[in-house]
Amino acid sequence: MILLKNGRINQDNKLIKKDILIDEGKIVKIADEIKGEGIDLKGGYIVPGLTDIHVHFRSPGFEAKETILTGSKAAAKGGFTTVLTMPNLNPVPDCLEHLAVEEELIKKEAVIEVLPYASVTVGEKSTKVSDIDHLRSHTRFYSDDGVGFSNYDVLDEALANIAKYDLFIASHAEDKILRYAPAGEYEAVRREIEHARMNHVAYHFCHMSTKESFDAIRAAQKEGLQITCEVTPHHLFLNEKDIKNPNFKMNPPLRSKENQQETLKALLDGTACCIATDHAPHTLEEKSQEYDKCPNGIIGLETSAPLVYTNLVKTGIATLSQFEGRNPFQG
Ligand code: DOR
């Protein structure tokens, strides 16, 4: 039994002081006061376990940046109980044998629930579809994040499988010529919405950051297409004027103030279904290089919930219930 004393929980969008009794991982009692020895939370906010559908834990392959142990500990510290890990790894989880390497590490190291994305294409190279037929019994989640799609015939072939087996695809939409420019994102978004339409498939966009992308997604949703997207804390709370140093270099990059405002608007009007951190650590050496040389990616798991709480809930922009959201994969 674990007794949590003097915590606060969300009741009708107000934080109310409660004690909580937990037995074998299940909440068995919530009351104003439960007698007994417990952990004093000193008024701390007890949040239902949060889910982040977009993190990079770097293992297998890039353990100098992060491991499943360090990443999942950071997630737990930030209030997350479930995270989905992106497949830009070595080996890329594009077949069962490769996925098994990551699954083994998750079994050994994860301190919370860690669900792996498999890649959509072999090696995330857009030339051949991954072995979805076999992978699907191990994961519902598919992405070529960090790279994006450059061959739309291969994407169509993948989407036929995604639709047939009712799987989840998350796209890093980036035009290969326009790259990091705003149009690099929204041109790819517009194109990929057409592929989702043609293939009658639900389609999710990662880390959206431009007005035009949100407009395209909003219009597709109005038409009844099953298009969803996520936004990141950094695109919600920062813009290109705020900061320019290697620790804040990421892809997509920070955008204009107008795009920042559109990101918040998309979250509040439901165009974006969730906040996802895109937690993407690199080594100190890599991030100590000058701006143009250092790799894209910043961390976010430990700061996401506090940032959202401070900037959106405390200011009255969002309610506690909006903040707590719900696990999109639990119906
Ligand atoms: O900033 C980023 N870093 N964006 C991505 O899409 C990939 C990620 C990484 O893997 O480092």
Query: Among this protein's residues, is 242 annotated catalytic?
Result: no
> How many whole angstroms from 82 Cα to the centroid of ligand 1?
20
DSSP secondary structure letters along 82-115: EEEE---SSS-S-SHHHHHHHHHHHHHH-SSEEE
C-beta separation of 239 from 224 below 8 A: no
Cβ 148 under 6 angstroms from ligand 1: no
pLDDT at position 330, please? Answer: 40
Q: What is the overall mean pLDDT for the chain? A: 96
146 lines ligand 1 (CB under 6 A): yes
Tell me which amino acid residue 65 is.
K
145 lines ligand 1 (CB under 6 A): yes
* Helix axis angle, 257-268 to 211-223, nearest 10°: 30
Cβ of residue 280 lying under 6 Å from some atom of ligand 1? yes
pLDDT digits (tens, 9 = 90+) for 208-255: 999 999 999 999 999 999 999 999 999 999 999 997 788 889 999 999
Euclidean distance between CA atoms 216 and 205, whole angstroms: 11
Angle at 78 between CA 259 and CA 311, to 5 degrees: 40
User: What distance in angstroms lies between residue 202's CA and the mean position of ligand 1's atoms?
Assistant: 23
Residues shown for the chain: 331
Q: Measure the CA–CA gap between 202 and 190, rounded to whole angstroms.
A: 15
Q: Which residue has the tokens 């407009």?
A: 215
pTM of the model: 0.95
Task: Give the pLDDT of residue 245.
Answer: 85
Buried/exposed code over 143-160 (b: 16+ C-beta within 10 A; e: otherwise): bbbbbbbbeeebbebbbe
Minimum-distance ligand 1 atom for the alpha carbon of 172: 6
How many angstroms does the Cα of residue 37 sit away from the middle of ligand 1? Answer: 45
Does the beta carbon of 296 lie inside 6 Å of ligand 1? yes
Does residue 185's CB lie within 6 angstroms of at least one atom of ligand 1? no
Radius of gyration, alpha carbons of the chain = 20
Q: What is the pLDDT of residues 112-141, one digit of tens each?
A: 999 999 999 999 999 999 999 999 999 999
Most ligand 1 atoms within 8 A of CB, residue of 278, 283, 298, 299 to mutate = 278
The percent helix, strand, coil of the chain (3-state, each to 5) is 35, 20, 45
Which letter, b or e, does each residue of 218-257 get, where b requires 16 or more Cβ atoms within 10 Å of its Cβ? bebbeeebebbbbbbbbbbbbbeeeeeebebbbbbbbbee
With 70 as the cut, is the pLDDT of residue 69 above it?
yes
Closest C-alpha to ligand 1, atom 11: 297
pLDDT tens, position by position, 246-261: 888 999 999 999 999 9
C-alpha–C-alpha distance, residues 282 and 288, integer Å: 10
Other C-beta atoms lying within 10 Å of the C-beta of residue 193: 21
167-183 pLDDT tens trace: 999 999 999 999 999 99
